[in-house]
Structure 1
């Protein structure tokens, strides 16, 4: 039976159903075809103070060699387009998904782009290559070894509790397994924080063990929490064959019975510089070593990492990092080689797998410089050395108590205006300043600390109590701690899924450290309410977004290893000063009497995934600009507000511009102010009235006296409703179905008090006009 519609009248879905799908399924088994396959989650955008997702990218058809190896993508178009019209889009998806073939079709035939040969062709609808033909072309043109072919057929680990790899994880796994099958011994995987490096490592290990390519695996990290997280979470399916190395307890004669070993490198090379790894294992014991977060020193010639890796030099070694390091002194690129795959922070945010962020820059009046008065003394009675102190000095060479108080007050104010339970990390100059910040935040949040003494906790390397709370801080279900003050400990590794605010109150000169710190907030948890995060910067360190290295290319430094590190005697721009211990007395501390600090300027900046500044704005200024752009003058705004039958139209217009009036009012403690007054206040500098004040003015002007009996009772109830909930509620006729109106009768009965529905609506409009009468 021929289709009921002419081909040119068919939608894209009709073309797929009637022509493309039959052509493909006649040559391929249905089990190796997926349709409308979602590739990305859709980028999350921040506009004003609103958040929305773009549409995810979807492939019309994906064809598979095996469960973990898609081989081709097909993009469909309706018949009003040419056969090859969708080919460039198909090619974009193929490049993204690491596929060798891209096809497009409009229902008349197919166009093909072959990435292996660089050629294109068109052919008829009934000439689509069979599964066997396309597979044979792929294997012939790729020149696959038997080991590579075996690796392709080895499936991922799957279960009800394990999600299938995302497209970039699949590519990372496949490329790594393929490279190992080809005999490559040193590999580097670069994946942004929050994109699932450990899960990717687990799938690589699983496939290599199951295929028999590897038998004994060592997973190295430098923090206990990283090891424990890996064992308990991503590597849980292998729990029967895993072992966490304990040098003090392990018996060399029995330790060899496991398959996957986890260890801290500090365990294998002790503080006594003893090489415990050689006491437990022979040099050829491991055939695969994975180095987690390898940027933290694995490539330093003198490091403990390197000694372990060189001892087990016959093993295949995979370095995993979010931030590849390449300087004159450190290079994991020189050791591991160029990355087999890179998935950047930019790509993660663009794809909607990572959370976008806004930056709130806060300037104090002493940020650019404070100089003590002649002969001024600190709280110890010592004279303060006379020079100009800046952000590079505070908490490093001098402690300004009121500055710490103002930073803590800004953090507290932000949390009060958004969510007091937002997980927050405050990065401080050192452990001492982290403790001072903890005390300041405790006192400013005493109401929350009263309910939970661990609301604010210092989590630093030497703080045993704080470190014991780390697992609760990173938990998605635990209510405390909510605020963690730290200096270094939380900058890397810890999986802080729910962090919504990162406060920067330390100088950061290293791009690696900066990326790691920003990475603490990039994990998405939409079901728990986290769609983005904020960075609050008190030292102007977010200027590093403008650095070309923010998401720049990887380059091998030809001078690597030829020079010794040199410590500057004076602070470099953006780096904490290298300070000799004071000759006498402690670091100067200046109290509020000696230096009072005020916040002088705040801006909100939105960056794209490249770190490029999209805009810098105060939300208030942004609102003012948009309202004035729409209404030009106060008189014009008032005229348009009054003329609107439904005031919601103006609220909705502002929402389209990314302005959420309710959220803004809450931030400025003006929730009881009418939207009309709030707009006039923000955009035209008018003193706002509360809804209660406007309602009382209506009563004073005796507007209601023109009505009597039940009609007056209804209008009085509407005025009370306005006072409590705002103008939008009384505009809705549905309000008559709520208390106290239900007691007055059904909506039709209430309307009859005004001579019918038109009379009721006229009375409500008059009431609105009276509410907004000047």
Structure 2
């Protein structure tokens, strides 16, 4: 056979496999079936190799070439277009045929002439007549709808990074770019973003079916749950109430499914016809070795045509898609969308460098989406050097699978390396030593003061290794079975149930896994990751670290770890096998100088220490501090920083060291100076100058000593030093002369401060004005005075002042044993300036004045206040006692709104309400 004849025979076979009936023109029978491919069909420009008919109507043309022409097949596109625009014999309609193919025996390229800017693409196999008929019946093609019909994205409930990802993806799809990569840090909501895009592609883009590929079966379950929980912004129904979502667990794809969730292993099995063991879906493809017997090439499967999916979303698209499994992606004629937190060069290359969204780990930390991490290293001699067993030693021999033991002698000397630990040789002493050191470190230095063990995940090498670890963890911690459990597919308990308990309940405190929750699984309360296995893949290691980066608010963390003192602000990676140094990681701990005090870092950047370690460490401290500061402290610092918050100061430091931003800064500087540059031509000096300029700008706020002092004071207020070293005992009880002298100095400083600032501080000037000139004393005025007094160098807290007066003037002080309220500061000021002869808690004073006030009112009124009116006046008095004043706005607060709020108070007191409030604000306070 000639090369042309061989190519024609292969093309005929492929057409037949796709459901086309192949006929010669002279034997043309248009009623033989829904799809007919007619060879050598005559046109006014010569016979076309094949003309395709669907339901008796000509719809397309195929230009056939021999295999040797494959590398130049695009040259034939002009010839195909000529036939498509030619006049076909006996055809009444002369409109161009829309579906154009060029084919050899091995290669097929396809162009849809109805697309905007029609562009050919390579496809694995011919489309079926049914799909061609379906496309022909649609007024617009998928690509035209993506380019012209997608409405604006509603941004409610979406993070900025998610908005950028969806819009960036839709821009790429509108431009008909076949592959797109979304780079989003772990925890930023990649799956939620993908579901948002899937909803829009189905509803507005008219996509028929979307394939959502996952790395493991567990991640498929998790993705299915997220689809079921998703509510679109323009419909009250759940995603799964609007569209049929199928999680593939068999070889059959539901013809009515609009989203299919599958591992790539199962999809390969469906296409190849080879059965799959369910356990094959339990291990991340990062950990599977490719073997020779797996190198079977996929062939066309008529049950799953190449047009089955319009879009394929590849979750965690790391190296698994580049080997055997890439055939699955090549098989389908679909847009490919990759989701990853850890792209590498191969990822970027596979997706044609088309990064439609990029949200890095450092950016996610700066935004509070994720937390930073510290690394704690445990090295042991056996881990590093291995060990030796002499011949004729009596030791246990254990079967790897059954774990059955026999007591026997070794036959030869056995020398094992650290890499052979827990595979060829198990050394329980090594495991025990690592667990003991982890326990000691966590309790004494990593999370001191915790009453419960922080939620901890241990990565083991194998299921057998995991069992060894669990037994030793329970022994070392002196805890029962519930304390530490295995979360793997081979565990006896339901792994999903154990995982749910680990995530939401008090027990287990420690979980041991091999692969099941190594990637993608969300366990926000995790604060410790212990690596007792090394990892081959850099990307997989980043994914494993990602289990700890999720941020969590104080309530969420304390729900499972009650003694945590606030929101999750970091996690700690404990490296017991050298995993951190055995490969270079893509993200890095922001904390580079953990032993340097915050005050020193602030002073350092002010003086001019601007190296990355110093800048990133300061950024990390500021981001952590921002999670704990009260709004008042946040506002105080922002006022000194020109309106910039603590978190934004830290974020600016991180962004200043961003390599990509430095390059852009250098390019902009060169352009401003009239110099033409591209990235490759930038000099080291230009990059260094750009970096220095960016860092200098980010560090400029810290030149302000008041800002540095305010940040350090805020940090000091947040922390307490707990001295566990020095014991305490009582020697004498009572006031000493020295204590009394110190109390007198405190009172004098208070009196001097009041006298010096009586005109400039509103709360003080209030008491020095004549009663008829006074306006209401607001709670904000009291807070302002309180902050001024308690801050350095005065350090005059309400408790300290009350205690000083109690020591020096005990006979004139009442209520010293009671807990102080902020409004007690009013009583202190009044006593200090001589308005009161006795220092009593402010609430007691208000009660006493209220009694006299209401008695006078009842005596002056024609009728006394009713019982209901009196009750409302008491409620108003109680609020005033804790806040210093009462206004209309206060009726919206819980204490008053629960009784009916302003509307009820007005109904009871009528037009007198405002006047009564004004009187109470003056007479009960002043």
Q: TM-score, normalised by structure 2?
A: 0.43
Indicate the structure with greater helix content. Answer: 2
Q: 2:311 aligns with which of 281, 288, 292?
A: 288
Aligned: 1:425 with 2:457: yes
Output one character per residue of 1:65-122: Cα deviation in whole Å (capped at 9) or x when no partner: xxxxxxxxxxxxxxxxxxxxxxxxxxxxxxxxxxxxxxxxxxxxxxxxxxxxxxxxxx
Return closer, same or farther for 1:433/1:193 CA change in 2, 3 Å cut-off. Answer: same
**Rounded Cα–Cα distance in structure 2 between residues aligned with 1:660 and 1:538:** 35
Q: 1:358 aligns with which of 356, 371, 374?
A: 374
Q: 1:492 aligns with which of 512, 519, 524?
A: 519
Output one character per residue of 1:649-695: Cα deviation in whole Å (capped at 9) or x when no partner: xxx99975968997774xxxx6xx4xxxxxxxxxxxxxx431x33xx
What secondary structure sits across from 1:155 in the alignment?
coil
Alignment of 1:326-475 (within 5 A): 326=345, 331-341=346-356, 342-369=358-385, 371-372=387-388, 377=393, 379-380=395-396, 382-383=409-410, 391-414=418-441, 416=443, 417=448, 418=450, 420=452, 422-447=454-479, 449=480, 453-465=481-493, 467-473=495-501, 475=503
What secondary structure sits across from 1:298 in the alignment?
helix
Return closer, same or farther for 1:663/1:393 CA change in 2, 3 Å cut-off. Answer: farther
Return closer, same or farther for 1:414/1:623 CA change in 2, 3 Å cut-off. Answer: farther
Q: TM-score, normalised by structure 1?
A: 0.51
Q: Tell me if structure 2 keeps the 8 A contact 1:372–1:387.
A: yes
Return closer, same or farther for 1:271/1:257 CA change in 2, 3 Å cut-off. Answer: closer
Return closer, same or farther for 1:499/1:242 CA change in 2, 3 Å cut-off. Answer: farther
The equivalent of 1:535 in structure 2 is 573
The equivalent of 1:256 in structure 2 is 255
Aligned: 1:321 with 2:340: yes
CA shift, 1:355, in A, is: 0.9
CA shift, 1:502, in A, is: 0.6
CA shift, 1:423, in A, is: 2.2
The equivalent of 1:732 in structure 2 is 800
CA shift, 1:443, in A, is: 2.3
**Rounded Cα–Cα distance in structure 2 between residues aligned with 1:317 and 1:183:** 11
Q: Tell me if structure 2 keeps the 8 A contact 1:499–1:533.
A: yes
CA shift, 1:226, in A, is: 1.9
Q: Tell me if structure 2 keeps the 8 A contact 1:457–1:483.
A: yes
What secondary structure sits across from 1:411 in the alignment?
helix
CA shift, 1:285, in A, is: 2.4
Q: Tell me if structure 2 keeps the 8 A contact 1:438–1:456.
A: yes
The equivalent of 2:224 in structure 1 is 231
Output one character per residue of 1:551-607: Cα deviation in whole Å (capped at 9) or x when no partner: 5xxxxxxxxxxxxxxxxxxxxxxxxxxxxxxxxxxxxxxxxxxxxxxxxxxxxxx93
What secondary structure sits across from 1:614 in the alignment?
coil
Output one character per residue of 1:406-444: Cα deviation in whole Å (capped at 9) or x when no partner: 222233345543352532111123222211111111223
Output one character per residue of 1:155-180: Cα deviation in whole Å (capped at 9) or x when no partner: 34x7xxxx532222222211211111
**Rounded Cα–Cα distance in structure 2 between residues aligned with 1:457 and 1:360:** 23
Q: Tell me if structure 1 keeps the 8 A contact 2:553–2:568.
A: yes
Return closer, same or farther for 1:661/1:282 CA change in 2, 3 Å cut-off. Answer: closer
**Rounded Cα–Cα distance in structure 2 between residues aligned with 1:180 and 1:421:** 48
What secondary structure sits across from 2:456 in the alignment?
strand
The equivalent of 1:217 in structure 2 is 210
What secondary structure sits across from 2:569 in the alignment?
coil
Q: Tell me if structure 1 keeps the 8 A contact 2:484–2:509.
A: yes
**Rounded Cα–Cα distance in structure 1 between residues aligned with 2:738 and 2:520:** 71
Indicate the structure with greater strand content. Answer: 1
Return closer, same or farther for 1:491/1:373 CA change in 2, 3 Å cut-off. Answer: closer
CA shift, 1:401, in A, is: 1.6
The equivalent of 1:267 in structure 2 is 266
Return closer, same or farther for 1:198/1:625 CA change in 2, 3 Å cut-off. Answer: closer
CA shift, 1:198, in A, is: 0.5
**Rounded Cα–Cα distance in structure 1 between residues aligned with 2:739 and 2:348:** 83
**Rounded Cα–Cα distance in structure 2 between residues aligned with 1:512 and 1:202:** 24
What secondary structure sits across from 1:286 in the alignment?
coil
The equivalent of 2:193 in structure 1 is 200
Output one character per residue of 1:379-407: Cα deviation in whole Å (capped at 9) or x when no partner: 33544976876643432443222221122
CA shift, 1:296, in A, is: 4.9
The equivalent of 2:592 in structure 1 is 614
CA shift, 1:148, in A, is: 6.4
Unaligned runs of 5+ in 2: 1-142, 231-237, 276-299, 397-407, 557-566, 605-708, 744-794, 819-830, 833-926
CA shift, 1:543, in A, is: 2.4
The equivalent of 2:245 in structure 1 is 243
Output one character per residue of 1:727-750: Cα deviation in whole Å (capped at 9) or x when no partner: 999973456999xx9999715899
**Rounded Cα–Cα distance in structure 2 between residues aligned with 1:375 and 1:735:** 76
Return closer, same or farther for 1:413/1:336 CA change in 2, 3 Å cut-off. Answer: same
Return closer, same or farther for 1:389/1:275 CA change in 2, 3 Å cut-off. Answer: closer
Higher relative contact order (CA 8 A, sep 6+): 1
Output one character per residue of 1:499-532: Cα deviation in whole Å (capped at 9) or x when no partner: 1111112123421122111111111112423222
**Rounded Cα–Cα distance in structure 2 between residues aligned with 1:703 and 1:259:** 80
Return closer, same or farther for 1:540/1:707 CA change in 2, 3 Å cut-off. Answer: closer
**Rounded Cα–Cα distance in structure 1 between residues aligned with 2:517 and 2:491:** 13
Alignment of 1:106-255 (within 5 A): 150=148, 153-156=151-154, 164-234=157-227, 236=230, 237-240=238-241, 241-246=243-248, 248=250, 255=254
**Rounded Cα–Cα distance in structure 2 between residues aligned with 1:749 and 1:308:** 76
What secondary structure sits across from 1:204 in the alignment?
helix
CA shift, 1:153, in A, is: 2.9
**Rounded Cα–Cα distance in structure 2 between residues aligned with 1:749 and 1:345:** 51
CA shift, 1:270, in A, is: 3.6
The equivalent of 1:746 in structure 2 is 814
Q: Tell me if structure 1 keeps the 8 A contact 2:153–2:167.
A: no
CA shift, 1:364, in A, is: 3.0
**Rounded Cα–Cα distance in structure 2 between residues aligned with 1:269 and 1:375:** 48
The equivalent of 2:699 in structure 1 is none
CA shift, 1:151, in A, is: 5.2
Would you say how many aligned residue pairs link Structure 1 and Structure 2? Answer: 457
Aligned: 1:550 with 2:586: yes
The equivalent of 2:702 in structure 1 is none
**Rounded Cα–Cα distance in structure 2 between residues aligned with 1:661 and 1:174:** 41
CA RMSD of aligned residues (A): 4.5
Rg (Cα) greater in structure: 2
Return closer, same or farther for 1:446/1:295 CA change in 2, 3 Å cut-off. Answer: same
What secondary structure sits across from 2:378 in the alignment?
strand
Q: Tell me if structure 1 keeps the 8 A contact 2:227–2:240.
A: no
**Rounded Cα–Cα distance in structure 2 between residues aligned with 1:246 and 1:607:** 39
The equivalent of 1:308 in structure 2 is 328
CA shift, 1:457, in A, is: 0.7
Return closer, same or farther for 1:378/1:187 CA change in 2, 3 Å cut-off. Answer: farther
Return closer, same or farther for 1:659/1:500 CA change in 2, 3 Å cut-off. Answer: farther
Q: Tell me if structure 2 keeps the 8 A contact 1:219–1:263.
A: yes
Return closer, same or farther for 1:233/1:245 CA change in 2, 3 Å cut-off. Answer: closer
CA shift, 1:705, in A, is: 12
Output one character per residue of 1:248-300: Cα deviation in whole Å (capped at 9) or x when no partner: 495x6xx2223222223343344995269947533212211112112151221
**Rounded Cα–Cα distance in structure 2 between residues aligned with 1:474 and 1:749:** 44
**Rounded Cα–Cα distance in structure 2 between residues aligned with 1:375 and 1:625:** 58
